[in-house]
């Protein structure tokens, strides 16, 4: 996957199956436990994992601030790929799962509308994605 100037790509190798990783995302009870950077918690108002389905949630930061989020699923291929459009700030996220020996290689590709917007969000998203992966790894145990 080649990186364009308007993309942020984060990857991690997990020592688990694609099916287990997909379940950690597709089950809102599991997802709420690990989604977001370190110290965040989540309240999900809606989670409809199907093309055209909405995901509405609030991330509660360790600083006491609430961050409302709204995403719409574009593509869902079980144990392989999830694509959603984040409404504001606007970007498209593609989560890909691929076999890697006895584990799974997960790739997150955040596609922003412009290079400038991508550059604005990089200092936040790059470390936050790594913290998100850390939380997922801990959740998977």
**Model confidence over 15-73: pLDDT tens digits?**
999 999 999 999 999 999 999 999 999 999 999 999 999 999 999 999 999 999 999 99
pTM reported for the whole predicted model:
0.94
Structure tokens at 20: 């287990």
Per CATH, domain 7-41+76-140 is 3.30.530.20 = yes
Q: Which residues of 89-118 are buried (b: 16+ CB within 10 A; e: fewer)?
A: eebbbbbbbeeeeebbbbebbbbbeeeeeb
Q: Where are the domains of the chain?
A: 7-41+76-140
Q: How does residue 2 score in pLDDT terms, banded at 50, 70 and 90?
A: low
pLDDT confidence of residue 90: 95
Q: How does residue 3 score in pLDDT terms, banded at 50, 70 and 90?
A: confident
- Is 1 a residue whose pLDDT tops 70? no
Structure tokens at 122: 């990089």
């Amino acid at each position: 996957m080649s990186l364009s100037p308007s993309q942020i790509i984060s990857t991690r190798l997990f020592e688990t199956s694609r099916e287990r990783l997909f379940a950690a995302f597709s089950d809102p009870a599991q997802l709420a436990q690990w989604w977001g950077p370190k110290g965040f918690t989540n309240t999900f108002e809606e989670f409809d994992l199907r093309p055209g389905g909405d995901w509405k949630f609030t991330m509660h930061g360790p600083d006491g601030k609430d961050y409302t989020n709204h995403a719409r699923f574009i593509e869902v291929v079980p144990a392989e790929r999830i694509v959603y459009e984040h409404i504001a700030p606007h970007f498209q996220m593609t989560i890909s799962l691929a076999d890697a020996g006895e584990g799974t290689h997960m790739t997150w590709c955040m596609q922003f509308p412009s290079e400038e917007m991508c550059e604005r969000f990089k200092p936040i998203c790059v470390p936050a994605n790594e913290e998100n992966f850390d939380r997922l790894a801990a959740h998977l145990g």
